[in-house]
Amino acid sequence: MFANKIINWYLENGRKLPWRETDNPYFIWLSEIILQQTRIEQGREYYSHFTKRYPTVANLADASEEQVLKSWQGLGYYSRARNLHATAQHIAYNLDGKFPSTYKEILALKGVGRYTAAAIASFAYKLPYPVIDGNVYRFIARLYGIHTPIRTPAAYKEFENLLNKLIDKERPDLFNQAIMDFGSLICKPTGCDCTQCPFRLECTAQKEGKVSLLPVMPNPPKVTERYFYYFDIRWPLPAETILVHRRPSGDIWQGLYELPLVETETPIPHRILADKARQTLAEWFTDEPLSVEAGQSFTHHLTHRTIQAQFLSVKYLSKPSKIPQYFSPVSPEVLKSLPISRLIDRYLSNQ
Ligand code: SF4
């Protein structure tokens, strides 16, 4: 009953999205990785770019990691792009270019969790695995009056057991798309119009006046602050040049380029900032800069961190005689072609 009703609603009201018009598992996988933590409209743009630039899994595998990171620029969570590239290489080179076709094999791919595996398995191969994302949690928690805090292992198990009973085994693709769209378009986080809802008579939250109380959210993750001091080091002769470095592994933005950076545990008071900057420059270079000035500052939010970034503008007349080997001098044009974080992009766009 439930499956028929939600699928009928979807057939009349569901969203038309480009990745729903294909059963190519490679395209579906691309769309699902892009859509993790991404708004649909932004995802549409990147999906179109990736499917045109890398029309087959072999094309994506043959690209360099730097090219893939550049294509990904602006989407954030860059580990997704690195996993995407590594997985494309695994499929192209180890699996003969054949996309895995069982839930278990799909789940074993790097960067693929249970939600993504269920989405690919059901959309590409019509396998009956229910998807559970934030929209599904909200809709089902309200409909069945479930008070278990969502996004926890216990909640996943509970919702999965329930959805395994509800899913349409013949049309799992439509069922999954329907419950996601219903949660996103009708059973919204706030301001949903329950009087127009086709499930209002059976909805537990509506009957018990608990719509605004469900779903129960888990405890929010702790957000830590980090203090980044970026040095925008440039010289005009013989040609405009700026120094960059590549972020190492084991931290955020691995493999992306950025300006030379010093991170501190606490903020540096503004009155001593220029002196501190000059001390650092003396450790990096033997030459004295022409000028050192505090520039723009940004507060940049990531999921578990807030970055307080202060940029410092450092001018030399010409190339310093000795440059640390971990910095690379590049022209501003070359810098535009390198993969960079959204924070660096924000800064450079304001120059
Ligand atoms: S009645 Fe309201 S709370 Fe219940 S499923 Fe419909 S929109 Fe969601």
Q: Is the CB of 163 inside a 6 Å radius of any atom of ligand 1?
A: no
Question: Got the DSSP string for 97-126?
Answer: TPPP-SHHHHHTSTT--HHHHHHHHHHHH-
351 pLDDT above the threshold of 90: no
What is d(CA 102, CA 156) in angstroms, rounded to the nearest whole number?
21
The rounded mean pLDDT for the chain is 95
Q: What percent of the chain has pLDDT over 90?
A: 91
Q: Span 210-227, mean pLDDT?
A: 93
**Distance from Cα 12 to the centre of ligand 1, integer Å:** 18
- Nearest atom in ligand 1 to the alpha carbon of residue 203 is 4
Q: Note if 240 is an active site residue.
A: no
Q: Which of 12, 21, 32, 65 is catalytic?
A: 32
Q: Span 145-170, mean pLDDT?
A: 97
238 falls in which pLDDT band (50, 70, 90)? confident
37 pLDDT above the threshold of 90: no
Q: What pLDDT, on a 0 to 100 scale, did the predictor assign at position 249?
A: 86
104 pLDDT above the threshold of 90: yes
Q: What pLDDT, on a 0 to 100 scale, did the predictor assign at position 258?
A: 96
Q: Helices then strands (H, E): number in the chain?
A: 15, 7
CATH says 2-131+149-189 is which class?
mainly alpha
163 falls in which pLDDT band (50, 70, 90)? very high
Q: Span 135-156, mean pLDDT?
A: 96
Q: Is the CB of 206 inside a 6 Å radius of any atom of ligand 1?
A: yes
209 pLDDT above the threshold of 90: yes
**Distance from Cα 204 to the centre of ligand 1, integer Å:** 9
Q: Is the CB of 140 inside a 6 Å radius of any atom of ligand 1?
A: no
Distance, first Cα to last Cα, the chain: 59
* Domain residue spans of the chain: 2-131+149-189, 224-349
CATH 3.90.79.10 assigned to domain 224-349? The reply is yes
Q: Is the CB of 142 inside a 6 Å radius of any atom of ligand 1?
A: yes
**Distance from Cα 71 to the centre of ligand 1, integer Å:** 39
| 281 closest CA partner among 351, 332, 232, 238 | 232
Within 13 Å of residue 313, how many CA atoms lie on the same side as its CB?
Answer: 9
205 and 211 Cβ atoms separated by less than 8 Å: yes
318 pLDDT above the threshold of 90: yes
- Nearest atom in ligand 1 to the alpha carbon of residue 192 is 7
Q: What pLDDT, on a 0 to 100 scale, did the predictor assign at position 245?
A: 96
Q: What pLDDT, on a 0 to 100 scale, did the predictor assign at position 56?
A: 98
Q: Is the CB of 143 inside a 6 Å radius of any atom of ligand 1?
A: yes
**Beta strand pairing status for 305-315 and 224-235?**
parallel
Q: Span 150-155, mean pLDDT?
A: 94
